[in-house]
């Protein structure tokens, strides 16, 4: 089960990490697209969301403070999806379908990020940075035994 969780985490977090890097590589064209969608301060928005995606993706992949990483992914998806993939406003049927596909995909990833928020920390096979020490681990074990 740890292997499946780790692989899923790598794929899921890797998607956000790649997307964040892509935001910086294609910042100008993404800012133009954001401007066309009436996003305020599109250059800053693309840069800020790129940083959010990189931090969130890295957190999920490494398992370092993953609740913060999944919160970053959730914030990004919840905020960006209705603005950038507003299929309900598209008049062209092909554009409407394309935006709907992206919107629904983002909502599915939002659900996955919310589900991952419920996984107790530390996650299996995580980089041991910022994880509870000694007495906290004993308390967590005791709570598991009680349940």
Q: In this predicted structure, what is the pLDDT of residue 135?
A: 57
The answer to whether the bond into 104 is cis (omega within 30° of 0) is no
Non-local (6+) Cβ contacts of 55 within 8 A are 20, 68, 69, 72
Between 11 and 128, the higher pLDDT residue = 11
Instruction: Quickly count: other Cβ atoms within 10 Å of residue 44's Cβ.
Output: 12
pLDDT band at 127, cuts 50/70/90?
Answer: confident
pLDDT at 142: 67
Please, what is the Cα angle at 135 between 120 and 126, to 5 degrees?
40
Closest C-alpha to 56, from 9, 104, 98, 91: 9
pLDDT given at position 138: 60
Query: Average model confidence (pLDDT) for the chain?
Result: 92
Confidence of residue 136 (pLDDT cuts 50, 70, 90): low
pLDDT value of position 143: 75
Tokens of 113: 């990020």
Mean pLDDT of 53-76: 96
Structural domain harbouring 6:
2-146
Q: How many domains does the chain have?
A: 1
Q: Is the pLDDT of residue 75 over 80?
A: yes
Mean pLDDT of 82-99: 96
- pLDDT band, residue 90 (cuts 50/70/90): very high
Q: Collect all residues with Cβ–Cβ distance below 8 Å to 114 and sequence separation of at least 6.
A: 70, 74
Is the pLDDT assigned to residue 28 strictly greater than 70? yes
Contacts 24+ apart (CB under 8 A), 64-70: 64/126, 64/127, 64/129, 64/130, 65/121, 65/129, 65/130, 66/116, 66/119, 66/121, 66/123, 66/126, 67/117, 67/121, 69/13, 70/113, 70/114, 70/116, 70/117
């Amino acid at each position: 089960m740890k292997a499946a969780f780790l692989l899923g985490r790598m794929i899921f977090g890797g998607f956000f990490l790649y997307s964040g890097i892509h935001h910086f590589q294609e910042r100008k064209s993404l800012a133009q697209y954001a401007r066309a969608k009436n996003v305020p301060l599109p250059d800053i928005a693309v840069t800020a969301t790129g940083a959010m995606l990189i931090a969130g993706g890295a957190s999920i992949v490494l398992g370092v403070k993953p609740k913060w990483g999944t919160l970053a992914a959730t914030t990004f998806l919840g905020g960006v999806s209705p603005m950038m993939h507003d299929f309900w406003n598209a008049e062209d049927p092909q554009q409407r379908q394309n935006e709907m596909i992206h919107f629904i995909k983002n909502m599915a990833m939002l659900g996955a990020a919310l589900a991952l928020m419920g996984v107790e920390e530390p996650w299996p096979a995580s980089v041991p940075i910022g994880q509870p020490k000694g007495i906290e681990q004993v308390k967590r074990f005791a709570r598991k035994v009680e349940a």
